[in-house]
Amino acid sequence: MHRLRDAEQKAVGYKQSLKAVKKGRALLVYLAKDVQENLRMSTLEMCLERGVPVVEVETMRELGKTCGIQVEASVAAILNSEGA
């Protein structure tokens, strides 16, 4: 989790994180265990297809706090420095 907190570039939230995975920008994805099952499965499938490792985090609250936001986060990704 320190790696996510200290990352220079990251995507926070389901839509932004999956967009990063689709574009090949995600190096590592963090996924909350208490996220809705359909979001969890689509995230896992996308990451598996693209070869992006997934780290599971206990709660959305914990993930949001690690990302430095005041709300829960279902998914977050560490991004490479290429592209926009």
Give the pLDDT confidence of 30-51 residue by residue, as tens digits. 999 999 999 999 999 999 999 9
* Residue 51, both tokens: 């070869």
Domain region containing 49: 2-79
Q: What size, in residues, is the chain?
A: 84
10-12: strand order across its sheet: 10-12, 75-79, 26-32, 54-57
CATH, residue 33:
3.30.1330.30
Task: Provide the pLDDT for residue 1.
Answer: 81
Residue 44 located in a structural domain: yes
Task: Provide the pLDDT for residue 2.
Answer: 82
| Residue whose pair of structure tokens reads 């389901």 in the numeric block | 14
Contact between 48 and 15 under an 8 Å Cβ cutoff? The reply is no
Q: What is the pTM of this model?
A: 0.93
Residue 84 located in a structural domain: no
